[in-house]
Amino acid sequence: MRPKFLSYCLVSFSCLFFGLRANAQWSADNVIEIDGVTMTADSLRAVPDVTIQVKNKNRGVESEYTGVFSLVCYKGDTLLFSCIGFRPKEFVVAKDLKGDHYSMIQLMVQDTFYLPETIIRPLPTREQFDYAFQHWRIPNDYYELARRNTNAYVMRTLAYTIPRDGRESQARLQQQQAREAVYYGQQQPMNILNPLAWGEFFEAWKRGDFRRENNPYNSSNY
């Protein structure tokens, strides 16, 4: 009785071993690596970022910037190529392919979308547009702001109003000390009695440099 049981177990293990080995051999022979390039059908240009997915399976890759891709799947699987702006394509991997490597070129056809005509208006009625055109305050663009900031009067005003930094303060102090050293022991000259300074003041007065309309910070100019 015992020899028969041992013979039965031996035969069962042998059948199971050879069955698993045959199944593993079939699975290894059924795996295939697919290398390819995605290109446009009309101009043969590379199509990047194409999604290559094994249909009905949660596996896939994306083509590179040059359109090259590489994917491992089983013979008989269906590959789905999809990309924005192109029509989706399907490729069925033949079951009778020889070897474990296959190269292909997938041509993608551009898909054009025609949208309905849309008219965009800034305001719903013409009366509102006329009122906005007359009374709305449109802010200045960068070019106008740069033009006003580089005005000679503005630059002069900023030069007198912006406080000095450390380097300028040091230079100013050294100039003052040098001037005091030159006039040490005597009376320093006063510009109020300088005829050249008075001449420049009268010329600026005649040109109208002190008028309000020449001031870029005047509120009426904005």
Q: Is 94 helix (H, G, I), strand (E, B) or coil?
A: coil
pLDDT of residue 20: 43
User: Does the global pTM surpass 0.75?
Assistant: no
Q: What is the percentage of the chain residues whose pLDDT exceeds 70?
A: 80
Pairing state between β 78-82 and 89-92: antiparallel
Kindly indicate the confidence band of residue 134, based on its pLDDT and cuts at 50, 70 and 90: confident
State mean pLDDT over 82-100: 90
Residue 167 sits in which domain range?
126-221
How far is the C-alpha of 188 from the C-alpha of 27, rounded, in Å? 106
Residues 174 and 144 in one domain: yes
User: At which residue do the structure tokens 């997915």 appear?
Assistant: 53
On the question of pLDDT at 171 being above 50, the answer is: yes
Q: Which residues of 107-139 are buried (b: 16+ CB within 10 A; e: fewer)?
A: ebeeeeeeeeeeeeeeeeeeeeeeeeeeeeeee
What's the pLDDT tens digit per position in 25-42?
Answer: 446 678 899 999 999 988
Going by C-beta distance under 8 Å and a sequence separation of 6 or more, which residues neighbour residue 74?
30, 31, 32, 93
Residues 201 and 133 in one domain: yes
Straight-line distance from the first to the last Cα atom of the chain, in angstroms, rounded to the nearest whole number: 113
How far is the C-alpha of 222 from the C-alpha of 214, rounded, in Å? 13
Last residue within a domain, chosen from 57, 82, 108: 108
State mean pLDDT over 73-89: 92
CATH number of domain containing 15: 2.60.40.1120
Instruction: Give a yes or no: residue 192 inside a domain.
Output: yes
